[in-house]
Amino acid sequence: MLSFTFRLPTTLVFGPGRLSELETTPHLPQGKQAMLVIGASGNILRQGYLGRVQGLLTARGVKSVVFDGVRANPRTEDVDAAAARARELGVDFIVGLGGGSVIDSAKCIALAAANNGPFWENMTGQKYEGAQGLPVVAIPTTAGTGTEGNAVAVLCGAPGKRGFVHPAFYPALAVIDPELTCSVPQRLTAITGMDAFFHAAECFLSTARQPMSDMLCLEAAHLVTRFLPAAVDDGSDINARTALAWASTAAGMCLSLSSPISQHALEYSFSGSNHNTEHGAGLVLLCRPYFARLIQLARGHEETSDRLLNLAVAMGFGLGGDEDEEGHPFLNALEALLEAVGLADLRPEELGFSAEAVPQYVAAALELRGSRQFLNTPVPMGEADVRAIFEGVFAP
């Protein structure tokens, strides 16, 4: 029997060239001063995106201050530093301009700036219950996390990498202009696109799913499979970039409408222990042994088995039905996608991971057994399963 809650309060302005509407949209939060949050790499400055956004805000009478200290796999200390500056300057709203790490940081900065105290301690101590944050404007420049469409933010602190959910994390406005993603290099295009794919696949399999998330998940899985190889091959293909931008946002919306499952919890052991590693790359490393184990555990679990076949069909595989001598249709579809985007040969050693550290990865993942990722996994997954998955990552 259906039972679900549907809430997506973010206004989405989507389409090529629509960044220019930042100057005129009635959906921009009220205020005369904004903090623009960007990454520490300087790429947003080099591409000219920062200057464009500042100019559009200035044209409507909004001054801006820039915080450029966000690192990959963002840190809680950077959030606290930016929030303190926002409070000091009396900033009215926060603009996250960049990839998932930047927009996630912007969400956390906005909540911390409106409430005293360190972000991590307040969030884990449940001191933000019922709290309001400053309004957030999300302007993604990659197509992967979909954080512009949900109430989720991922941050690294002393205990490791964690995902947080809070109603204040919904951006007031998200401007998704696929033209901003055309400068993303091939490898990062592939990795962020696979992140969007796994959001869709996991949320479709999740026990927290609902009818709206099901539709969006299948659409996103289809679009990534169809258009990610084209975007990797030709970054200027605006048709492919637009399809991927929508797939990313749609799958990101599902992170609030549904929930990821334990593949994400296991990945936090990777990018949480090595901050130079992309989250999407960690998911790619895990995907073969993870889904092989999930399929094995799901034997006799009809609903999950059917959903895996539905995903395969959305990817153009599995029209013949059940598993045959050539392997499971979903695993075949996944392998074909990895080949098509140049990630089939990605190895953990390239990213700084070691088979000797498997016990640490397992222990870090099991710390999250009470998280929504584990709780919404459709079949029970215990310590032996987690260990087998990590060992599978390092198998020859």
Position 142 in a domain? yes
Model confidence over 276-287: pLDDT tens digits? 899 999 999 999
Q: What is the pLDDT of residue 3?
A: 81
Position 1 in a domain? no
Q: Does position 97 have pLDDT exceeding 80, yes or no?
A: yes
Q: Does position 269 have pLDDT exceeding 70, yes or no?
A: yes
* 336-360 mean pLDDT: 97
Domain end position, chosen among 138, 164, 181: 181
Task: Tell whether 342 and 325 lie within a shared domain.
Answer: yes
Q: Does position 323 have pLDDT exceeding 80, yes or no?
A: no
Task: Tell whether 87 and 210 lie within a shared domain.
Answer: no
DSSP string, 274-327: -TTS-HHHHHHHHHHHHHHHHHHHTTT-HHHHHHHHHHHHHTT--TT-S-BTTB
How far is Cα 252 from Cα 187, in angstroms, rounded to an integer? Answer: 21
Q: Tokens 């395969």, residue?
A: 312
Q: Does position 91 have pLDDT exceeding 90, yes or no?
A: yes
Give the chain's domain count: 2
Q: Does position 321 have pLDDT exceeding 60, yes or no?
A: no
Question: Hey, what are 51's tokens?
Answer: 């200057």
Which of these ranges, 13-27, 53-67, 249-263, 312-326, has the smallest mean pLDDT? 312-326
* 325-353 mean pLDDT: 95
* 2-8 mean pLDDT: 82
Q: Does position 1 have pLDDT exceeding 80, yes or no?
A: no
Residue 167 is part of a domain; what is its CATH number? 3.40.50.1970
Contact 32, 62 (CB under 8 A): yes
Q: Does position 194 have pLDDT exceeding 70, yes or no?
A: yes
Give the three-state DSSP class for 23.
Answer: helix
Confidence of residue 396 (pLDDT cuts 50, 70, 90): confident
Task: Tell whether 58 and 204 lie within a shared domain.
Answer: no
Task: Tell whether 221 and 257 lie within a shared domain.
Answer: yes
Task: Tell whether 200 and 126 lie within a shared domain.
Answer: no
Task: Tell whether 56 and 94 lie within a shared domain.
Answer: yes
- Any alpha helices (H) in the chain, and if so which ranges? 43-46, 49-59, 76-89, 100-113, 119-124, 186-205, 211-233, 238-257, 262-271, 279-297, 302-314, 329-340, 358-366, 372-375, 383-393
Position 120 in a domain? yes
DSSP string, 319-373: TT-S-BTTB-HHHHHHHHHHHHTT-TT--GGGGT--GGGHHHHHHHHHTTTTSHH
- pTM summary value: 0.96
Task: Tell whether 120 and 172 lie within a shared domain.
Answer: yes
Q: Does position 34 have pLDDT exceeding 60, yes or no?
A: yes
* 190-214 mean pLDDT: 98
Position 328 in a domain? yes
Residue 261 is part of a domain; what is its CATH number? 1.20.1090.10
Confidence of residue 130 (pLDDT cuts 50, 70, 90): very high
Q: Does position 162 have pLDDT exceeding 80, yes or no?
A: yes
Q: Is the dihedral of CA 18, 19, 24, 25 positive or negative?
A: positive
Task: Tell whether 162 and 198 lie within a shared domain.
Answer: no
Task: Tell whether 153 and 252 lie within a shared domain.
Answer: no
Q: Supply the range of the domain harboring residue 211.
A: 186-393
Q: Tokens 């009470």, residue?
A: 370
Q: Does position 319 have pLDDT exceeding 80, yes or no?
A: no
Nearest alpha carbon to residue 359 among 269, 286, 296: 269
Model confidence over 176-187: pLDDT tens digits? 999 999 999 999
Confidence of residue 384 (pLDDT cuts 50, 70, 90): very high
Task: Tell whether 130 and 52 lie within a shared domain.
Answer: yes
Q: What is the pLDDT of residue 318?
A: 73
Task: Tell whether 266 and 359 lie within a shared domain.
Answer: yes
Position 4 in a domain? no
**DSSP 8-state class, residue 181:** G
Position 338 in a domain? yes
% pLDDT > 70, the chain: 98
% pLDDT > 90, the chain: 95
Domain end position, chosen among 181, 204, 227: 181
Question: Hey, what are 131's tokens?
Answer: 């709290």
Position 6 in a domain? no
Q: What is the pLDDT of residue 369?
A: 96
Domain end position, chosen among 181, 198, 224: 181
Task: Tell whether 166 and 60 lie within a shared domain.
Answer: yes
Position 199 in a domain? yes
Question: Hey, what are 286's tokens?
Answer: 């895990």
* 192-216 mean pLDDT: 97
Q: Label residues 103-130 b or e (16+ Cβ within 10 Å = b).
A: bbbbbbbbbbbbbeebbbebbeeeebee
